[in-house]
Amino acid sequence: MYLKVELNWNVVIPAENLDIKGLMLQKAILVRLLDDFAAKKATKDLGYLVAVTTLNKIGEGKVREHSGDVLFPVSFTCLSFKVFRGEVIEGVVHKILKHGVFMRCGPIENLYLSNQKMSDYQYQFADNPCFLSLKTGSRIEKDVTVRCIVIGVKYMEAQKEFQAVVGLEGDYLGPI
Amino acid sequence: MQNKSGHFDAILLCFRCRHFYNLTRVFFLACDAVPFVLSLCLRKIYSRLRARLKLSFNMSAAGEEEENAADLKIGDEFLKAKCLMNCEVSVILEHKYEQLQQMSEDPMNQVSQVFEKSLQYVKRFSRYKNPDAVRQVRELLSSYQLAEFELCVLGNLCPETVEEAIAMVPSIKSRGRVHDDEAIEKLLNDMSLIKKFE
């Protein structure tokens, strides 16, 4: 689920980027904010940080005593992406293993669907391996869209990545 | 003199004895006290450990209890936060991408990985391509009393039948909400109409 979030950050502008012309300063602040935003990548509470949409306010700058850098409080709106436990999402399969498949959903690379969570489907060993449901004939293979429910979400602080475990146990879930 | 010193000795002995007696008393008291203090310490450590264990258990249990989007149990800040449907995100991101394209020749280099993956994803999964249709869907869904979260799940998945809608968003039927099947049916019909005429 994509969320619209309002954030207040502090942006540090090095002394050499300070300019007499006001517009250049604003540009420097914006560029710096976008860089910081892209570098931050994700947070535990908000999920992945996707894009800054609007810059609402740049506050009064404060001079840092030792370095001479100036710190500006900035308030802006941005988009973030987070999955919630119990949410129904659609993912694209990108890897098939014997004991489950990995899917991609937006910025999340690793959605894991274990074969224990799709009891109707059997692993088929072939040139391009897939999971096949003998009852309905539907198959889960590479690049197929699968609708599934989120069972658990984990955030890894070091890599700044989210991982999630998903399942197919429920009505109207499965490959589309 | 002899007598006196003997007397002195006796007093000393007496004193020593008393001293010894006192010492032993202290010793025994200490003997008594040490296990008592030890047991206190142990009890404290034990209770602290138990509290911590309980806490961690509680936390995992509470985590399980608390966050469950199916019953609309997500953090308060997210219930109030503005959620966006994939199609809305698609409109925003594509606009942003076009802006970047005008500024530089190689816009893919400019954007972060998160942006790139999100753009690819929403392009594939947005049901409504036309910005006007996107606005209409948002207006339509807002006229029903839905939480932001439910609104977006419906907008993203576009269920075709009432049962499917309830399976995707179980919370629209629970907790004495006013939505009856006909209201949901009408909502789904209107959504597919917008899709048809976009």
B94 touches chain A (CB under 8 A): no
Do residues B149 and B160 touch, judged by C-beta distance below 8 A? no
CATH, residue A42:
3.30.1490.120
Looking at chain A, the whole-number percentage of residues with pLDDT higher than 70 is: 98
Looking at chain B, the whole-number percentage of residues with pLDDT higher than 70 is: 61
pLDDT tens per residue, range B14-41: 555 566 556 566 556 565 666 665 566 5
Gap between the Cα atoms of B4 and A21, Å rounded: 107
C-alpha angle A67-A72-A74 in degrees, rounded to nearest 5: 150
- For residues B152 and B36, the model is more confident at B152
CB contact (8 A) between residue B69 and residue A48: no
Measured from the Cβ of residue A142, the count of other Cβ atoms closer than 10 Å reads 13
Gap between the Cα atoms of B56 and B145, Å rounded: 37
CA distances from B84 to A69, B116, B193 (A): 37, 18, 21
Distance from the B125 Cα atom to the nearest Cα atom in chain A, whole angstroms: 8
Q: Which helix (H) or strand (E) holds B50?
A: helix B2-66
Between positions 4 and 63 of B, the ones with CB within 8 A of A are none
Using the 3D structure, point to which of A81, A116, A143 is the last residue of a domain.
A81
- Of A13-22, A88-97, B117-126, B170-179, the range with the lowest mean pLDDT is B170-179
Range of the domain at A75: 2-81
CB contact (8 A) between residue A50 and residue B89: yes
The residues facing A79 across adjacent strands are A4, A51
pLDDT computed for residue B22 by the predictor: 64
Distance from the A63 Cα atom to the nearest Cα atom in chain B, whole angstroms: 30
- Dihedral over Cα of B75, B81, B83, B89: its sign: negative
B118 interaction partners in chain A (CB closer than 8 Å): 2, 48, 50-51, 79, 81, 106-107
Gap between the Cα atoms of A42 and A156, Å rounded: 10
CB contact (8 A) between residue B82 and residue A3: yes
CB contact (8 A) between residue B164 and residue A172: yes
* Beta carbons within 8 Å of B194's beta carbon, 6+ residues apart: B128, B133, B136, B137, B140
Strands, sheet with A121-124, edge to edge from the N-terminal-most edge strand: A121-124, A130-133, A139-140
Same domain, A102 and A142: yes
ipTM reported for the complex, 2 dp: 0.90
| CATH for B76-197 (1.10.287.1060, 1.10.150.120, 1.20.1250.40, 3.30.300.340) | 1.20.1250.40
CATH, residue A109:
2.40.50.140
Domain total in chain A: 2
Pairing of strands A161-167, A108-114: parallel
pLDDT computed for residue B27 by the predictor: 59
Using the 3D structure, point to which of A62, A81, A100 is the last residue of a domain.
A81
